[in-house]
Structure formats: C-alpha cells, structure tokens
Amino acid sequence: MLNFVDLIQNPTTLIYVAAVLIVLAAIVFATLLARQRRSLEQLRAMSDSLSHLHESFVRTNLNLESTANRLQILEAQYSEFLENYQHSKEELARMAETMGGESQLTKAIDLARGGADAKEITLATGLAEDEATAIVKFHGSSKR
C-alpha cells in the first residue's frame, strides 16, 4: 500500500497517468465522433429514402386519382352506350316487325296479281282472310 501512496505522490507518475487518461479520453471521443458521423450519414440516407418514398407516394396517388377519374368517365360512357344499345335494339325490333308485315303485304299483292285467291294468300302469308280478300279485290287480276 505504501508503494501506491508513493506512486500517487510522484509527479512524473501523475503526468504519465494524466497523459494516459487524456489519450484514452481522446480515443473514446474520436470513437464517439466516428459513430456519430456514421449515424448522421445513415440518418441522411434514411431521410433521402423517405423523401423519395414520399414523392413516389404522391405520384402514385395522383396517378390513382387520374385513373379513378378516367374510370368514372368510362363508366358514364358505358352506361350511355348501353342505353343507346337498348334503344337501338328496340327500334330494330320495331323496324323488323314493320318490315315483316310490309313484306307479307307485298307477297300477298304479288300473289293476287299472279291470280291467287284469298284462301291461297291466307295460307301463303298468314294474313287474315278479310285482308286477303281486300288485296285480291284491289290487286287481283281482272280476269276472275
């Protein structure tokens, strides 16, 4: 224990101890600074990544909004198209019905001009007998 007291009281020993402590403190400080620098670089890299992610998110969100708007426009156009299709279908059915009736009348008139009687016209065209009689009367051959 006496050696320890002598060692502590010796000024050169104190200088060596102080120098060693200062060097250790400098090494610890340098290590902390290096770690802090690496941490700051990692933080900057994360910040840049988050910034890039945010920009990508904003662009994606704008693209989704644009796509949603286009989809709504397409849905409206589809509804309009479907409505026009239904109207066209109904109109075509009416026209076919009308054309079918006219073609039967034309056929009946041609039969009457060819000399067919009312019963033959009724069988061939499906028209009522009174209609067939009227057609024969007005369009039939005068020889009968």
Euclidean distance between CA atoms 11 and 44, whole angstroms: 48
76 pLDDT more than 70: yes
Task: Give this prediction's pTM.
Answer: 0.43
Nearest to 102 by CA among 129, 136, 124, 125: 125
CA atoms within 13 A on the CB side of 49: 6
pLDDT score, position 144 = 46
pLDDT score, position 100 = 61
